[in-house]
Chain A
Amino acid sequence: MEKFKKIIGIAAPFTRINVDTDLIIPAESLKTISRKGLGKDLFSYIRFNEDGSENKKFILNQPHYKSSQILVTGKNFGCGSSREHAVWALKDFGIKCLIGTEFADIFYNNCFKNGVLPIILKNNQIENIIKIISLAKTSELEIDLENQSIKTKTGKNIGFDILPYLKNNLLEGIDDISKTLEKKKLIDEFEIKIGKHYPWLNKKNG
């Protein structure tokens, strides 16, 4: 996985609440066996009109926010389905960081597996950021994961919390599986133990 250190990029305000993963990427687009290429279908139900043309009102279609790397979201973003395709689509589109008051659990986890940083802030902090980035000339943010800070064009510096191991995984671009496989011996021992205590679990057909 690629490492996440620091990004400087345009941040788009998308404050709708309860944005579900069906809205981020509809089921129709899940018929793929690849992780790539989903960016074109990101938010497709609201990004495009019936005839396939762009919905000019949608934030990511506005010329200034087309190249956004950061999305500032409403409450409970990413709720609904577990589809990691939602994160793949965001990433493929170019979004590397999300800022919101609250993310749905599975979506939040999925972000970290793909080098996307979800930042949780308080309501008033989000409202402040939205005010700032809504103006084109101050829409750029600097996200510094190492120092856990967000810098705005207006000179504000906002700190954020993140669990140390999640931070570390992003900074190092760590592949969880190889890390877990280092614990093979522990897993082996654990399996012997369950075999003894819960023998019915290890049998096909009871």
Chain B
Amino acid sequence: MSENISPKTLFDKIWNNHVIDNIDENNSLLYIDLHLVHEVTSPQAFEGLRLTKRKVRQPDKTYAVPDHNVPTLNRNKIEDELSKKQLAALEKNTKDFNISYFPIGDVRQGIVHIIGPEQGLTQPGMTIVCGDSHTSTHGAFGALAFGIGTSEVEHVLATQTLMQKPAKNMRINLNGKMQIGITAKDLILGLIGKIGTAGGTGHVIEYSGDAIKNLSMEGRMTICNMSIEAGARAGLIAPDETTFNYINGRNFAPKKDWNEALKFWKSLPSDEGAKYDSEEILEVDKLEPQVTWGTSPQDVCSIKGEVPDPNSEKDLNKKQSIINSLNYMGLKPGTKMEDIKLDQVFIGSCTNSRIEDLRAAADIVKGKNVKTKAMVVPGSGLVRQQAEKEGLDKIFKEAGFEWRESGCSMCLAMNADKLKPGERCASTSNRNFEGRQGKGGRTHLVSPIMAAAAAISGHLTDVRQFI
């Protein structure tokens, strides 16, 4: 809608399309097309609306789902009183404010960032927010999607807008051809290892290059999901045929307006010559399967690597941080990553619990037996249903995995699925922070096929030997 003809980035275009008012150069009032809500970061926002007697401006653009607290076993009886209260609050709030809701027991229930795309709610060119940092996932569709705090959730509920400071544009080119056994998860972990967890602060990262072009939507979502782990406000990938094919026919996808929507979506990719504030390149040809050794996603190396030695780090803060990490993780410098024994394997989370992830993991475990405790938590009821239709549940169960109902589960350990202190887990989730999977728990982030290989080996291992 802008008159200015200088070349624009995808981010600029979406931004300009949504500015209602430029308050000053650092502050714009932005229209929000889609607001996703879950039980943990919303109760105080609804309470705020009640106290001020405000309404939800656009209940039709707001969708709610319980995911963080939900049990993945025995869904009908929630043992934890506090969780029960929070889940009941969401149910009541959605009723009182007339918001669409996918309750436990509805096959559409799942992790909020899985169900948006799955339902066709997530579309190119939109602004999407949710009180959750991994809202960046939706950027895979060329939507500007970012996490917000609870006060902002209240602001969006009341006004369908948000005050925002424009982000800077960063482009990351992922060039080359991924080797067999390398997944989107390895790309993003490798990238975070390179630019660090603050590498993207203040920026929206647009991922491009042939490695991105060739990725499925699932893979693109994995990449954008972890943009926040690189510190970025959001991740973006230009919509293309892969995107359109994914959306076509989904529940909330445009139907009678499809052609019109498609025309608009095709106008979104960054213009030739558009300027970026910074650029990075990652050559993916030689990338090996990645695995984290520490307590930040940037503490990552190849599966063929070893635990680093803090003494070889000159920066004192960084050295201390390595010492702390190794201490917490119970690891010795120089230990080969492949020699690290595991207690558990977790396949799940909004990073890696889509059907493609489960198919790939099942392929590895087929006909084998797990040597650790292991569980699969599908990202949504529909993913679970599809997997069961394909017989993946049987493959997992026969190998000794637990096959659970959908939710965030051991990605953040708010429900009963937790590591015990000292337990070590290979996990397909996105954060290896201290205590993230349960107090004292130790997390190694990996791809779904690496998790599968770890489960049948009992230790971290290179999945390529099983392919």
User: Do chains A and B stick together as partners?
Assistant: yes
- Residues of A close to B439: CB separation below 8 A: 26, 28, 45
Query: How far in angstroms is the closest Cβ of chain A from B429?
Result: 12
Q: Which of A60-68, A101-109, A144-152 lies at the binding interface?
A: A101-109
Q: A6 in the interface, Cβ–Cβ < 8 Å? A: no
A23 touches B433 (CB 8 A): yes
Judge whether B158 and A22 touch: CB under 8 Å. Answer: no
B390 within 8 A of A: no
Which residue in chain B gives the minimum CB-CB distance to A194?
A: B31
Cβ 8 A contact of A206, one of B148, B254, B436: B254
Asked if B151 is at the interface of the complex by the 8 Å CB criterion, the answer is yes
Stretch from B106-114, B212-220, B316-324 at the A interface: B316-324
Q: A114-B151, A180-B159 are in contact. Are A17 and B321 (CB under 8 A)?
A: yes
Q: Which residues does chain B contribute within 8 Å of A142, judged by CB atoms?
A: none
Alpha-carbon distance A76/B202, docked complex (angstroms): 12
Report B-chain residues with C-beta under 8 Å of the C-beta of A180.
29, 155, 158-159, 161, 163
Asked if B52 is at the interface of the complex by the 8 Å CB criterion, the answer is yes
Which of B26, B151, B317 interacts with A165 by CB under 8 Å?
A: B26
Contact status A31-B80, CB under 8 Å: yes
Kindly provide the distance from the CB of A158 to the nearest chain B CB, expressed in whole angstroms.
Answer: 21
The reply on A186 being an interface residue by CB < 8 A is yes
Partner of B20, one of A16, A81, A85, A183: A183
A135 contacts B by Cβ under 8 Å? no
Closest-by-CB residue of A relative to B1 is: A197
Contact between chains at B324 and A206 (CB < 8 Å): no
For A194, the chain B residues whose CB sits under 8 A away are 31, 33
Q: Does A75 contact B (CB under 8 A)?
A: yes
A18-B296, A200-B260 as given contacts; A110 in contact with B149, CB under 8 Å = yes
CB pair A30–B40 under 8 Å, yes or no, is yes
CA distance A87 to B321 in the complex (A): 23
Q: Which residues of A contact B317 (CB under 8 A)?
A: 15, 17, 74-75
B252–A206 CB distance below 8 A: yes
Chain A residues positioned under 8 Å from B336 (CB to CB): none
B278 at interface, CB cutoff 8 A? no
Count the B residues whose beta carbon is within 8 Å of the partner chain — how many? 86
Residue numbers in B under 8 Å from A159 (CB-CB): none
Question: Which residue of chain B is the closest to A1 with respect to CB atoms?
Answer: B151
- Which residues on A sit within 8 Å (CB–CB) of B180? none
Cβ contact of B198, chosen from A28, A75, A203, cutoff 8 A: A75
Q: Is residue B261 within 8 Å, beta carbon to beta carbon, of the partner chain?
A: yes
A28–B163 alpha-carbon span in the complex (Å): 30
**In the bound complex, CA of A104 to CA of B233 (Å):** 9
Q: Nearest CB to that of A111 among chain B residues?
A: B149
Q: Does B414 contact A (CB under 8 A)?
A: yes
CB distance from B236 to the nearest CB of A (A): 15
Within 8 Å of chain A (Cβ to Cβ): is B21? yes
Within 8 A of B (CB), among A164-206: 164-165, 176-177, 180-181, 183, 186-187, 190-191, 194, 197-206
Flag whether A34 is at the interface (Cβ < 8 A): yes
Once the chains are docked, how many angstroms separate the CA of A82 from the CA of B145?
A: 13
Enumerate chain A residues within 8 angstroms of B20, measured Cβ to Cβ.
Answer: 183, 186-187, 190
Minimum distance in angstroms from B393 CB to a CB of chain A: 28
A171 CB to closest chain B CB (Å) equals 16
Nearest opposing residue in chain A for B33, CB measure = A201
The answer to whether B311 has its CB under 8 Å from any CB of chain A is: no
**A164-B24, A205-B252 given; A23·B435 CB < 8 A:** yes
Q: Are B148 and A200 in contact (CB under 8 A)?
A: no
Q: Which of B40, B125, B198, B260 contacts A76 (CB 8 A)?
A: B198
Q: Indicate if B16 sits at the interface (CB-CB under 8 A).
A: no
B60 lies within 8 A of A206 (CB): no
B201 within 8 A of partner (CB): yes
In the complex, which residues 1-44 of chain A have their Cβ closer than 8 Å to any Cβ of chain B? Answer: 15-18, 20, 22-23, 26-28, 30-35
A104 neighbours in B (Cβ, 8 Å) = 198, 201, 231
Do A28 and B434 touch across chains, with their CB atoms under 8 A apart?
no
Cα–Cα distance between A27 and B439 once the two chains are bound (Å): 10
Of chain A, the residue at the smallest CB distance from B125 is A198
Contact indicator A176/B85 (Cβ below 8 Å): no
Q: List 18 A-B contacts (CB under 8 A).
A: A16-B320, A18-B197, A22-B433, A27-B413, A31-B40, A31-B85, A45-B435, A76-B201, A164-B24, A180-B155, A186-B20, A187-B161, A190-B20, A197-B1, A204-B100, A205-B252, A206-B251, A206-B255
Known: A22-B433, A81-B431, A186-B21. 20 other contacts (CB 8 A): A15-B317, A20-B431, A27-B412, A27-B413, A32-B82, A33-B44, A34-B47, A45-B439, A79-B197, A83-B41, A105-B201, A106-B147, A106-B149, A109-B148, A177-B159, A180-B155, A199-B260, A204-B60, A204-B100, A206-B253
A residues touching B (Cβ–Cβ < 8 Å)?
15-18, 20, 22-23, 26-28, 30-35, 45-46, 50, 74-76, 79-85, 87, 102, 104-106, 109-110, 113-114, 163-165, 176-177, 180-181, 183, 186-187, 190-191, 194, 197-206
